[in-house]
């Protein structure tokens, strides 16, 4: 099983390492046609506006929407969560607009307000180590979106069917439990 990491910006190598620790093959995705070779996709952190521009420039918007329409799992972390969202506070238009959530960018403050915490996540036995860097926040979710975790009563992890989103960077730690959760989602999607 191959899981791709969109390699336009962000911690691509770290996500690939976490995927491999979770027992799947991780590959960097740089061209649209490489989406045909994978069963799941991670959209990493970085800067959501830049990622959106690069996705448009290289033809990824329609390709990833088609990937999602085929029921293939997608996992967005930090800026990747923003890219997945149907609604972004302060912006007229979403990037992919796939996940029925409203997000606020940089809701946890600037770089210097970054922090790490142990976060309980529904469906994962042990709390995961989460790194929040200029992290977005999920302000609201549709009725069919499952809230998997909150931090100070704010939503930071959610799932809607084959879509998974986290406000933080699970790949910047040695804890690969959330990647294991995503690998399990991809495995289930193949049955």
- Which residue of the set 14, 95, 162, 171 is catalytic? 171
> Residue 36, exposed/middle/buried by CB under 10 A (0-12, 13-18, 19+)?
exposed
- Which residue of the set 95, 162, 169, 179 is catalytic? 169
- The residue count for the chain: 191
131: how many CB neighbours lie within 10 A of its CB? Answer: 20
Ramachandran assignment for 182, one of left (phi > 0), alpha (psi -120 to 50 degrees), beta (any other): alpha
How, if at all, do strands 137-141 and 99-104 pair?
antiparallel
- Which residue of the set 78, 95, 162, 179 is catalytic? 78
Q: Based on the residue annotation, tell me whether 78 is a catalytic residue of this protein.
A: yes
Q: Based on the residue annotation, tell me whether 95 is a catalytic residue of this protein.
A: no
Q: Based on the residue annotation, tell me whether 152 is a catalytic residue of this protein.
A: no
The residues carrying an active-site annotation are 78, 169, 171
């Amino acid at each position: 099983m191959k899981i791709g990491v969109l390699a336009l910006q962000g911690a691509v190598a770290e996500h690939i390492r976490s995927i491999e620790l979770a027992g799947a093959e991780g590959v960097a995705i740089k061209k649209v046609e490489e989406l045909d070779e994978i069963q799941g996709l991670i959209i990493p952190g970085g800067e959501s506006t830049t990622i959106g521009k690069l996705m448009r420039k290289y033809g990824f918007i329609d390709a990833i929407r088609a990937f999602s329409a085929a029921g293939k799992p997608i996992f967005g972390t930090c800026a990747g969560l923003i890219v997945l969202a149907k609604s972004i506070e302060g912006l007229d238009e979403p990037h992919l607009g796939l996940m029925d959530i409203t997000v606020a960018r940089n809701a946890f403050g600037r770089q210097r307000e970054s922090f790490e915490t142990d976060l309980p996540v529904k469906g994962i036995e042990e709390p995961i180590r989460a790194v929040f860097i200029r992290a977005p926040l999920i302000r609201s979710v549709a009725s069919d979106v499952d809230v998997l975790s909150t931090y100070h009563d704010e939503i930071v992890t959610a799932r809607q069917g084959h879509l998974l989103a986290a406000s933080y960077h699970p790949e910047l730690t040695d804890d690969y439990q959330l990647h294991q959760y995503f690998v399990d989602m991809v495995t289930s999607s193949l049955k």
